[in-house]
Structure 1
Amino acid sequence: MKIKSLLTVLFVWVSVLSFAQDIGFQYHITLMEPGNPAKSYPLKDGGNGSLSSKDPIPVEVIQRQINNGQTIKIEVSITGKENIYYNFEELIRLETFKHEDCEFLMPGFWYHRNLRSPKEAPSFATSDSWQVREDRLSSPLTGVFDRKSGNYYTVARLDDFQTESLTTHTSGDVILSGKTSIGFTGFKNVDGTSSLVFGFPYHEAPKTYIRKLTLVSPVRAFEKLAKGETRKLTWEIRKGKASGYSDFVADTWSYVFDTYKPKPLADVHNTAEAKKLLSNFYKESFVDNYDLKYYSGVHLRTDDCISTGSAEVGFVGRVLLNAFNALEYGEEVGDESLVRNARAIFDSYLSRGFTKNGFFREFVELSRNEEPQVYSIRRQSEGVFAILNYLAYDQAKGRRHPEWESKIKQLLVNFSKLQQPDGSFPRKFNDEFKIEDESGGSTPSATVPLTMAYSYFGNKRYLESARKSAAYLEREIISKADYFSSTLDANCEDKEASLYASTAMYYLAFVTSGKERARYIDLCAQAAYFCLSWYYTWDVPFAQGQMLGDVGFKSRGWGNVSVENNHVDVFIFEFATVLEWLANQKNEQRFSQFSDVIKSSMLQLMPREGHKFNIAKVGYYPEVVQHTNWDYGKNGKGFYNDIFAPGWTVASLWQMLSPERVEEFFARKKN
């Protein structure tokens, strides 16, 4: 036993030594006197934890390292010898990591090298070194993965995040108006070697991203430290090994979940309360003065929520899914007006909602008689999804709709014409089947209704088409961890591509068995980890006067949208249910625990009387929730954009609040 214990101690000591030899530390502190240029001072480790400058500086910096073999905890204390304004930076050079061999992770913001993103957004197309403020990230962490060795390093901030302050400028050297908890993190190419860089307060470089496709000059913040005052900061460096980028992302998500331990919010609405509030959207948004009847759910102003002339089948409007929600709920609670209006929507789309070749008229601006002639596999798929739910629901009650069935069968014929030899579906096309955007990133949105159509109609052609699309997803999307271009208002890495991929495999698992089903479960989990990396495990702080902070908003459980659209939202639909199911299939309770966080957190901004959260009408759930120094066009951090689309937010939350739907759909007998 003594020999075994000695060998264990020796192994741990060798691991610690190896970890320490792999990395090198560099330190800088930058000081600024108001009205004068900032000056940066390199710091050296004096051997006793003191980080000192060769020039006299009015600040004391002490660092303590706690090495646990696979992690090094770094504790930094900064004390002012007189009143100072400072910015501290630490760099860890990964001596064995060639930058050209590495890929990077800043959860919810940066994947691989962000090469799917345009040069107007953060991407390797602009620079191979990036550092950003922590509240841009779903977890305040940066990771570097070496493709050749499979080794990776991460650095995570471990402090409490309680405060934020305002600044007068978005670029340059800025002095904070008060205390902040927000630092920065990122990666750098240092003479061909990858390095982790982090510090406090925030410093974004080489650019700062202030709104959609708008990069401006870098920003560096300075916090005031009074004479004798000390700021304590903590980070953790972690080393690991992964079989590939997906494994790296999955391992990192498990680590951040265990590190930040997000808990569900207390005192949130139960399902009945939430649906009652959301149902007001169906009552107030119904528009019946055009040939197409619809719920007005896109291009609304937050300050009045007055209905517009825009009717949209999928993506952000979700008219048909909302009609199904209203029908089901109206019958459940005995509200005839909800039922009547929902059926009016279905009837109007049945008679006037299709193009000459059988596609949904997916977006129509009725007030101006404008209608784009380019269609998308995503909106078309979301329309089929809604109608199949409607048909199965009514069929279970003894009501049949043969005309609708005929329309959907024709649309599925169109799908077969669009599906490419590799199994993918083009992102955009016209009514003559001419492909306008061949990208396959939206393919999983089609897999879902194809699987449902097989179950409803019993036609194996639909299942074969779904299987073919799943093979494409496995080969080109999931195995390469390349989730992109699912959202229609951006063309980049995005959350919804991984969410749809995971959901697609979940649906396929209901109609398959044996080894095939087991493979779909594995793929579902792999995509789910990637999707989870977009969701916040921590609560970003807000300054007083930023509405979201003033009302007590917690960001945990909300997902960032994409590299281009750097805000959080409630896009969830079935994903919380998928996580619950995966928890049992894969014996991974983190999934169900985080599902509980999502389901509680996403209801916290529910507009209701006395608690409108800057939304004019009850139940019109907010969309563009701006949680970091970025805006979609108006207002910035702590507020919403002034234009929003409650059509999809209501539909998303309603689907989350109806976890039994999917299993019930597949449990019904085929025709």
Structure 2
Amino acid sequence: MHTQTDSLTPSVTDAGVLLTSAAGSLNWSTPIIIDTIDGHTVRTGYDTFDTDDNGELTATARVELGEGTTLHITDQLRSDGVGVLIHRIVRVERAGTTTGVRVGFEARTTVDGASDEDWEYFIPSTMYNRNDTDGDGREDYLGTYEQEHRDDKNGILAMLARHGSSGATFSVARLTLPQYDNGVTPEQLVARSFVQQTDIGSLGLAPHSGQTSLRGAYPFTEAHSFCLDTDGTGWGAFTPVAVGTLIDITYEVRVTNSEDLTTAIWDLVQHQRSRLETKRPDPGVSLEAAIEHRQLLTQLYYRKWTAEENAKEPAGYLVHFSPRVGKTAGSLLEFGFSGDQALLAYAQLRWSQRTGVRLYADRARSVLDFFVTHCQLDNGFCQGIFDPINDEFTYWFTGILMPFQYAENEEDVRRYVGEQIAGALMPIARELRGIEGNYLRTMCESIYPLILAYQADDQPNPAWLHAAEKFGNFLLNTQAEDGSWYRAYAPDGAGLTSPAAWFGASDKELKSGTIFPVPILVELHRITGDERYLDAARKAATFMTEQYVEPVDYIGGLNDTTHIKSVKGDAVGVMFLMRSLLKLYEATADRAHLDAAVKAAKVLCSWVYLWDVPFPEDTLLGRAGFRSTGWAGCDVIASGTYLDNEFLEFTGDLANIAAHAGDAALLDFAELVQYGMQMALSTPENDHGYVAPGIQCEGILTSYWLSRPDTTEFSGAVNKVKGDDNDTCNALTNGQAAYGLYDLLDSFGTADFAAIKADRFQ
């Protein structure tokens, strides 16, 4: 796969400036858009043009605003053989009565015969293809393709639009890294428009009469956004007006030709990694020390009930608490997803082998023994959440919905999560209370570590393998003819389809559970030699490649949501699918599976931040010196606002794909993530204000997320502002971090990326 790159050249026409290459043209149609906080807008072109001997075009305009402010704009347009760089300087010659202005631009594609439906879009962590996996012809989240997003939500500071049939690909990027930001006050959040000292701008795109407009603004504007509320209310900032230089910033536009959307995305990601000069961060803690802090923290939260307390003697790691308090919230044992008991047990077993401490292994075995003895039905179905206090299984209330389980009534729910989230999720929560079942992800996340533990333990328990084989039969019995599985199942093995907002509104969404079972099937085939497992895995791979990889419609990794819909575009959905294709390739040597895995890996890298977002100094992340490079967005609803830790589990998978494919750039991304995501770990040297070393919050906020002022007891990822964490430590994070490191060690004998590169890429 390749992207054709031709020199893009600016030229002056009667209509202004046209940027032309062999791949297509971009009309620099409205180069100057000025908005004032008073509500006035001026859209204009240039007054003068001058081209020097090197072909650099200097275009200027002098704009008088009605209230007395005069701005002078100078744009220097220079082609460097790859794109056109636009160096913009805005000066205030005279200050009038307006207190704040915003200066932007709009460029429009020129593709013959194009219609709005022909376009594929990419906004990192926000839009992949057309964000329409429910198939209703409408963008699934904000409900519009007119989207602008703050720079601190944009992990690569760029976005693109691709014309599907011709392959013409148009991108816009900011090359001047934002250097500072000040916090937005509660009053400003309510006002929605305000004057602010900030270096955060925005980029955007929008369909326009069959073409696509590329946009930029400084400071930021978002006409539709979940930064404030679930209604998608727009907002924006204006820079203070004072005589002198107001704006000094460089943008880049490119016109290329790419053979598919994945290629276009990867080309832009790689181009921006070079432009932004991305370097691996230093988190101030070694990987070895980080894993020790994490594993010891997990030990602090081990609990086994006595026979007098509960005859089943349940055991697990009750890691679900605010990092500032450390007290476990509730007493649920959650297998899979945010509780991830089996993964923690596997990691603790490996930790016991590394340290020689038998206690860690004994405790790990007790957790897995409880699971296989009491949490699986005869048909192989696995329960997800056990309540030891009431000796019963509970359903669905996982992740951000966990407070719904604690709450005694709806008033309690509002107290825990606030009015917005209670209002968005209460109707679904009521319906879910009457449904018994479990997510396929959750079941797979229990069985896969169980199989790994069975193979790793020097005292392997045959009951663990028996449980895995029962679940293997469950998978064989529930797989559809097209190779798919549903997202969730009832205990009798029936796929769950209602409510549609939770389990899926289309076949593609309902069957997004297909991304999880393949690693289990591959391991069971390896242990038992039963070809049925490998046949099922192959059928699943075909479905995944056709439904998710080729159209760039990766969905379904997360079990919860903040609002709108549960089945959505998310980074972890790409991760699980990528792993499935990798494991099948390693079992079959079928190059088609590796090629599809590489495609998924390249899209996954587009979720990763390539630069360090500036944080207000008085925030948690600002005080801690947090750096965002190497972190990945969570899902397309939160956009790049909310970064979480799940990629830590998949660094080994990405490194293995890089090695199999001979692609060192993919290995570089694995290294960025492996080191970057240690940045939020509490250590003795930098505790972030947490109660113990080894704590890493479930996620952090690079921007604003449902930030309309509200009072919540359990905020999670809502009612948060830039520079916050989500005030929640879950078992998932440290289990994933341990697994990812052990996977690197098992695969390469080292977690030293320089050594891996020297060994595999010379």
Range 576-585 or range 183-192, more displaced: 576-585
Give the 5 Å matches for 1:625-664: 625-631=700-706, 632-642=717-727, 644-660=728-744, 663=747
Partner residue in 1 for 2:426: none
Distance 2:576 2:333 in 1: 23
Aligned-residue offset at 1:195:
0.7
Aligned-residue offset at 1:503:
1.0
SS in structure 2 at match of 1:64: strand
Partner residue in 1 for 2:193: 174
Give the 5 Å matches for 1:96-245: 96=111, 97-116=114-133, 123=140, 126-168=143-185, 169-170=188-189, 174-178=193-197, 180-205=198-223, 207-210=224-227, 214-245=230-261
Q: Percent identity?
A: 19
For the pair 1:47 / 2:48, whether they are aligned, the reply is yes
Aligned match for 2:110, one of 87, 92, 95? 95
Partner residue in 2 for 1:668: none
Range 181-190 or range 196-205, more displaced: 181-190
Q: Deviations over 1:278-318 (max 9, x none)?
A: 112222111212532111134x2232121231211111111
Amino acid at match of 1:314: G
Structure 1 contact 22–95 (Cα < 8 Å) conserved: yes
SS in structure 1 at match of 2:555: coil
Partner residue in 1 for 2:74: 62
Range 364-373 or range 543-552, more displaced: 364-373
Aligned-residue offset at 1:465:
1.2
Aligned-residue offset at 1:329:
0.8
Structure 2 contact 7–79 (Cα < 8 Å) conserved: no
Distance 1:87 1:202 in 2: 8
Partner residue in 2 for 1:333: 355
Compared with structure 1, are the counterparts of its residues 562 and 443 closer, same or farther at alpha carbon in structure 2 (3 Å cutoff)? same
Aligned length: 643
SS in structure 2 at match of 1:327: helix
Partner residue in 1 for 2:490: 430
Aligned-residue offset at 1:163:
0.4
SS in structure 2 at match of 1:325: helix
Aligned-residue offset at 1:612:
2.1
Structure 1 contact 77–230 (Cα < 8 Å) conserved: yes
Aligned match for 1:461, one of 527, 532, 539? 532
SS in structure 1 at match of 2:104: strand
Partner residue in 2 for 1:552: 625
Partner residue in 2 for 1:353: 375
Give TM-score scaled by structure 1 length. Answer: 0.90
Give the 5 Å matches for 1:592-603: 592-603=667-678
SS in structure 2 at match of 1:50: strand
Aligned-residue offset at 1:615:
2.8
Partner residue in 1 for 2:612: 539
Structure 2 contact 25–109 (Cα < 8 Å) conserved: no
SS in structure 1 at match of 2:669: helix
Aligned-residue offset at 1:267:
5.6
SS in structure 1 at match of 2:296: helix
Compared with structure 1, are the counterparts of its residues 449 and 9 closer, same or farther at alpha carbon in structure 2 (3 Å cutoff)? closer
Aligned match for 1:405, one of 437, 454, 465? 465
Amino acid at match of 1:628: S
Structure 2 contact 608–633 (Cα < 8 Å) conserved: yes
Aligned-residue offset at 1:405:
1.6
Amino acid at match of 1:175: F
Partner residue in 1 for 2:431: none
Q: Deviations over 1:261-288 (max 9, x none)?
A: 3211236322321121011222211121
Compared with structure 1, are the counterparts of its residues 469 and 200 closer, same or farther at alpha carbon in structure 2 (3 Å cutoff)? same
Structure 1 contact 165–176 (Cα < 8 Å) conserved: no
Aligned match for 1:605, one of 680, 705, 720? 680
SS in structure 2 at match of 1:198: strand
SS in structure 2 at match of 1:236: strand
Partner residue in 2 for 1:297: 319
Range 495-504 or range 346-355, more displaced: 346-355
Distance 1:378 1:538 in 2: 32
Structure 1 contact 317–645 (Cα < 8 Å) conserved: no
Q: Deviations over 1:333-364 (max 9, x none)?
A: 12233222212212222321223533222122
SS in structure 2 at match of 1:170: helix
Structure 1 contact 262–594 (Cα < 8 Å) conserved: no
Aligned-residue offset at 1:464:
1.2
Structure 2 contact 298–734 (Cα < 8 Å) conserved: no
Amino acid at match of 1:371: T
Gaps in structure 2 of 5+ consecutive residues: 1-5, 12-17, 50-58, 396-435, 498-506, 561-565, 707-716, 750-762
Distance 1:618 1:553 in 2: 16
Aligned match for 1:75, one of 80, 87, 90? 87
Distance 1:664 1:451 in 2: 20
Partner residue in 2 for 1:477: 548
Structure 1 contact 506–524 (Cα < 8 Å) conserved: yes
Q: Deviations over 1:187-239 (max 9, x none)?
A: 1233342110111100001x22126x813421121011421234201110011
Task: Calculate the aligned-residue CA RMSD, in Å.
Answer: 2.7
Q: Deviations over 1:484-518 (max 9, x none)?
A: 112111311111111111111211122113xx2x2
For the pair 1:371 / 2:398, whether they are aligned, the reply is no
For the pair 1:24 / 2:28, whether they are aligned, the reply is yes
Structure 2 contact 345–364 (Cα < 8 Å) conserved: yes
Amino acid at match of 2:381: F
Distance 2:658 2:373 in 1: 43
Structure 2 contact 127–636 (Cα < 8 Å) conserved: yes
Range 77-86 or range 167-176, more displaced: 167-176
Structure 1 contact 80–230 (Cα < 8 Å) conserved: yes
Structure 2 contact 601–666 (Cα < 8 Å) conserved: no
Amino acid at match of 1:612: D
For the pair 1:306 / 2:330, whether they are aligned, the reply is no
Partner residue in 2 for 1:85: 100
Aligned-residue offset at 1:424:
0.8
Give TM-score scaled by structure 2 length. Answer: 0.80
Aligned-residue offset at 1:663:
4.2
SS in structure 2 at match of 1:276: helix
Aligned match for 1:500, one of 576, 582, 598? 576
Amino acid at match of 2:148: Q
Structure 1 contact 634–641 (Cα < 8 Å) conserved: no
Aligned-residue offset at 1:412:
0.8
Partner residue in 2 for 1:450: 521
Give the 5 Å matches for 1:375-390: 375-390=438-453
Structure 1 contact 133–204 (Cα < 8 Å) conserved: yes
Distance 1:483 1:254 in 2: 20
SS in structure 2 at match of 1:208: coil
Compared with structure 1, are the counterparts of its residues 338 and 101 closer, same or farther at alpha carbon in structure 2 (3 Å cutoff)? same
Range 376-385 or range 97-106, more displaced: 97-106
For the pair 1:392 / 2:415, whether they are aligned, the reply is no
SS in structure 1 at match of 2:617: coil
Structure 1 contact 320–383 (Cα < 8 Å) conserved: yes
Compared with structure 1, are the counterparts of its residues 471 and 190 closer, same or farther at alpha carbon in structure 2 (3 Å cutoff)? closer
Compared with structure 1, are the counterparts of its residues 118 and 467 closer, same or farther at alpha carbon in structure 2 (3 Å cutoff)? closer
Distance 2:599 2:444 in 1: 23
Compared with structure 1, are the counterparts of its residues 98 and 484 closer, same or farther at alpha carbon in structure 2 (3 Å cutoff)? same
Distance 1:131 1:9 in 2: 27
SS in structure 2 at match of 1:511: helix
SS in structure 2 at match of 1:53: strand
